């Protein structure tokens, strides 16, 4: 059997950007005979877990059980609900990551509180990382102050090559001749003696 190299390593902390390992999990010990959803929200979540005045939502596989607009289920006993509940912090200012709560029967016969945590120490729930806004795309500026557009440089180069290949005679016809002799200009000879006008078309 080949030997295997085993090296000790420290567990990495949860990645707050990961939708799986960023979820905070804890256990709520409940007196199923009397604990209600209201006890869970007001006493356990807001006081023991530190949600305070935050806007929160409690959901199960069946859907939303509680949020600021859904309060009809607060009187329901936790024994009638799922054993796994998800707590979502809807606060816009530094919200907590989602919390998956495992609801279990209390180990005490008659607990003082209907819902309590494993210990009296306040749990530190991680906060969601702030998402930085995406940087807007930047346009490449040209010396004339206009942004560069794909295809402008190639079309300009094409026109330059066409102008260089164009015959000089065609350019003269387009822009006008510079020498009047090349155009066959008519010469008018005004004979002042008899008032006759002679036209030389050579």
pLDDT tens digit string along 32-42? 999 999 999 99
Are the CB atoms for 48 and 54 separated by under 8 Å? no
Dihedral in degrees, nearest 10, Cα atoms 172, 173, 179, 184: 150
Are the CB atoms for 183 and 177 separated by under 8 Å? yes
* Residue 137 backbone dihedrals phi, psi, to 5 degrees: -65, 140
| Cα dihedral sign, 76-77-83-85 | positive
> What is the pLDDT, as a whole number, of residue 167?
55
Domain ranges of the chain: 24-113
pLDDT at 79 over 60: yes
24-113 is classed CATH 3.20.20.80: no
Q: Encoding tokens for residue 198? A: 């002679």
Nearest Cα to 115, choosing from 42, 64, 184? 42
The answer to whether the pTM exceeds 0.85 is no
pLDDT band at 135 (very low <50, low <70, confident <90, very high): low
Which helix (H) or strand (E) segment holds residue 152: the answer is helix 152-165
């Amino acid at each position: 059997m080949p030997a295997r190299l085993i090296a000790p390593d420290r567990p990495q902390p949860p990645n707050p950007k990961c939708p799986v390992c960023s979820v905070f999990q804890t256990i709520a010990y409940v007196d199923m005979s009397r604990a209600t959803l209201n006890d869970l929200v007001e006493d356990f979540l807001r006081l023991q877990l530190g949600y305070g005045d935050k806007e929160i939502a409690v959901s199960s596989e069946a859907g939303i059980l509680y949020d600021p607009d859904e309060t009809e289920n607060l009187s329901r006993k936790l024994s009638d609900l799922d054993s796994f509940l998800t707590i979502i912090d809807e606060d816009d200012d530094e919200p907590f990551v989602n919390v998956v709560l495992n609801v279990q029967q209390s180990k005490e016969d008659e607990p003082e509180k209907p819902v309590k945590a494993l210990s009296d120490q306040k749990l530190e729930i991680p906060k969601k990382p702030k998402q930085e806004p995406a940087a807007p795309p930047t346009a490449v500026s040209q010396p004339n102050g206009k942004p560069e557009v794909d295809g402008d440089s190639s079309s300009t180069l094409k026109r330059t090559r066409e102008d260089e290949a164009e015959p000089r005679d065609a350019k003269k016809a387009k822009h006008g001749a510079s020498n009047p002799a090349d155009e066959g200009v008519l010469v008018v000879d005004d004979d002042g003696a008899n008032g006759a006008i002679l036209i030389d078309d050579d």
